[in-house]
Amino acid sequence: MSTIELAPRLSADDFRQELFTRGLLFATGVDGLYGRSATFESLVDAVDRLIGRLSADDKAELMRFPPIMTRSGFEASGYFKNMPQLVGTVHCFCGDDREHKRVLACTPEEGGWTAAQQPADVVLTPASCYPVYPIIAARGPLPAEGWLVDSSSYCFRREPSIDPARMQMFRQREQVCFGTPERIRAFQSHWMTRALEMFRLMGLPATTDLANDPFFGRPGMLMANGQRSQRLKFEILVPISNPDKLSACGSFNYHVHHFADAYGIRGADGEPAHTGCAGFGLERVALALLRQHGFDIDAWPEAVSMTLWPRA
Other CB atoms within 10 A of residue 218 CB: 7
- pLDDT band of residue 6 (cuts 50, 70, 90) is very low
Kindly report, residue by residue over 120-157, the tens digit of the pLDDT.
999 999 999 999 999 999 999 999 999 999 999 999 99
- 184 three-state secondary structure: helix
Q: In this predicted structure, what is the pLDDT of residue 312? A: 65
Query: Which DSSP helix (H) or strand (E) runs through 304?
Result: helix 302-308
- Closest by CA position to 150, among listed 60, 229, 55, 276: 60
Sign of CA dihedral 34, 122, 148, 184: positive
- 210 three-state secondary structure: strand
CATH match of 12-87+126-308 with 3.30.930.10? yes
Q: Is the pLDDT of residue 247 over 80?
A: yes
- Per-residue pLDDT averaged across 207-214, rounded? 92
Kindly report, residue by residue over 58-103, the tens digit of the pLDDT.
999 999 999 999 999 999 999 999 999 999 999 999 999 999 999 9
pTM for the structure as a whole: 0.92
User: Cα(281)–Cα(161) distance, rounded to whole angstroms?
Assistant: 16
Other CB atoms within 10 A of residue 19 CB: 21
Q: In this predicted structure, what is the pLDDT of residue 9? A: 59
- Closest by CA position to 235, among listed 210, 254, 255: 210
Question: Average pLDDT, whole number, for the chain?
Answer: 93
- pLDDT band of residue 285 (cuts 50, 70, 90) is very high
Task: Delimit the domains of the chain by residue range.
Answer: 12-87+126-308, 89-124
Rounded to the nearest angstrom, the gap between the alpha carbon of residue 249 and the centroid of all alpha carbons in its chain is 9
Is the CB of residue 129 less than 8 Å from the CB of residue 151? yes
Is the CB of residue 295 less than 8 Å from the CB of residue 18? yes
- Per-residue pLDDT averaged across 9-21, rounded? 89
